[in-house]
Amino acid sequence: MNKTELIEEIAKSADITKASATRALDAMLNAVTTTLKNNDSVTLVGFGTFSVGERAARTGRDPRTKEAIKIKAARVPKFKAGKALKDAVN
């Protein structure tokens, strides 16, 4: 499912227009992004938790030249599924 299909599903399920569903989805995504930028987490009980993890600096290999390269440390977004979501999938 892509973003357009998700918007259509939200509009149909919530009985709202696609424009309203688009604004709602964009607002939710912006709120999650802003919260993660501030190094905080977003917990949706039953669905899951969005958080920020730290990836340490490491040495990798360039696949073309086989030379060692340095990969910088980075902050990465993470998602941990909640119990209700896990149960729904299984």
Q: Mean per-residue pLDDT for 37-65?
A: 95
Q: Mean per-residue pLDDT for 51-58?
A: 96
Number of domains in the chain: 1
CATH of the domain at 7: 4.10.520.10
Q: Mean per-residue pLDDT for 9-17?
A: 96
Going through the chain in order, the beta strands assigned E by DSSP cover 42-44, 48-55, 58-61, 68-71, 74-81
Residue range of the domain that includes 83: 3-88
The model's confidence at residue 35, banded by pLDDT at 50, 70 and 90, is very high
Q: Mean per-residue pLDDT for 64-86?
A: 95
